């Protein structure tokens, strides 16, 4: 492990996406922590960013990299959702003498760059997750005014060690990849999450977001599935991302339009996606949720990451 006093901090610049991608793959391989992995990188830099009217430059401005010999050792990154969210990923020697100096630099970056004005309190706020090494960051968390947010981020895993039986309800069929209309996908997502009939639903922008997902570097058309009605409307959707190095499939997103729920559509899509991911070399699948739906399918929660929050003093 490199000594932290030779780490060089810089902002995101052209070509860094692959550098970040490789860091996330290596970070999971070493620490088995999936809280911010390829699924979040691809999905948030495309769908989340566009849906929340975040420009590519605004997303990049909230990324800080600390490097040694051209390789990332520490990363601060957001989900691009303009909610003040920050993930601090640390692959450093916490016992090095200059550890505190580096951590202070990381927390100062969060203070200066990651906050967003909370719509309720009208104050700038940061929501922070430190999945690895938070016990070593305790002093900085206190000194910089972070408190427990009262909830956790979650990793849940299950093995892809069987052939899953796929049963699609009568009146529905399954499509994937290039067969999926981004506009209908946008409509289905909006109906699923209850904003289809609200002012924030901009069909042009939302369609652009889902079209952008298909251009994401790790998008695999065969792992992007929808259940559709006989009239061609999307009733449910599932996307898996595949980390081939770690043989890991990652679920993001999953949804079923309310009027089509309780028909096993999401389960059928997931099982079909599992079979396809397994055929591509996947041995495990993970989802960032402890929802009863996933636990019933066989997922087991392996880690919880306490979330922290602070109100940032205006500069």
In percent, how much of the chain has pLDDT > 70?
Answer: 97
Q: How far is CA 8 from CA 2, 4, 19, 184, 310, in A?
A: 12, 9, 15, 45, 26
Between 216 and 5, the more confident residue is 216
Angular region, 162: left φ>0, alpha ψ -120 to 50, beta rest: beta
Please provide the size of the chain in residues.
315
With contact defined as beta carbons under 8 Å apart, do 278 and 285 qualify? no
pLDDT tens profile 108-141: 999 999 999 888 888 899 999 999 988 899 999 9
Q: What is the average per-residue pLDDT within 168-191? A: 97
166: its two tokens: 């796929």
CA–CA dist 253, 80 (Å, integer) = 16
3-state DSSP call for residue 279?
Answer: helix
Q: What is the average per-residue pLDDT within 222-245? A: 98
pLDDT level of residue 2 (50, 70, 90 thresholds) = very low
**pTM to 2 decimal places:** 0.94
Domains of the chain, CATH where assigned: 4-152+305-311 (3.40.630), 172-282 (3.40.630.30)
Q: Is residue 3 pLDDT above 70, yes or no? A: no
């Amino acid at each position: 492990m490199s000594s932290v006093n030779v780490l060089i901090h810089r902002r995101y610049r052209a070509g860094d996406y692959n550098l970040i991608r490789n860091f996330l793959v290596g970070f999971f391989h070493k620490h088995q922590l999936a809280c911010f992995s390829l699924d979040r990188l691809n999905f948030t830099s495309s769908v989340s960013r566009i849906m929340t009217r975040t420009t590519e430059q605004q997303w990049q401005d909230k990324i800080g990299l600390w490097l040694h010999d051209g390789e990332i050792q520490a990363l601060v990154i957001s989900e691009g959702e303009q909610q003040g969210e920050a993930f601090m990923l640390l692959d450093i020697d916490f016992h090095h003498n200059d550890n505190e100096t580096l951590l202070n630099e990381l927390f100062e970056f969060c203070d200066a760059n990651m906050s967003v004005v909370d719509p309720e309190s009208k104050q700038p706020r940061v929501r922070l997750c430190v999945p690895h090494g938070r016990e070593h960051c305790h002093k900085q968390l206190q000194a910089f005014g972070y408190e427990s947010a009262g909830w956790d981020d979650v990793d849940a895993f299950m093995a892809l060690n069987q052939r899953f039986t796929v049963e699609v309800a009568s009146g529905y069929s399954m499509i994937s990849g290039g067969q999926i209309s981004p506009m209908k996908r946008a409509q289905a997502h909006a109906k699923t999450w209850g904003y289809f009939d609200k002012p924030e639903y901009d069909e042009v922008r939302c369609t652009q977001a889902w079209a952008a997902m298909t251009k994401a570097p790790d998008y695999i058309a065969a792992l992007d599935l929808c259940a559709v009605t006989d009239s061609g409307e999307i009733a449910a959707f599932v996307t898996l991302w595949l980390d081939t190095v770690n043989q890991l499939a990652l679920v993001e997103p999953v949804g079923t339009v309310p009027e089509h729920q309780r028909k096993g559509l999401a389960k059928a899509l997931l099982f079909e996606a599992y079979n396809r991911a397994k055929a591509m070399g996947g041995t495990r699948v993970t989802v960032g949720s402890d929802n009863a739906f996933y636990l019933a399918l066989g997922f087991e929660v392996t880690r919880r990451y306490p979330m922290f929050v602070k109100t940032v003093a205006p500069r």
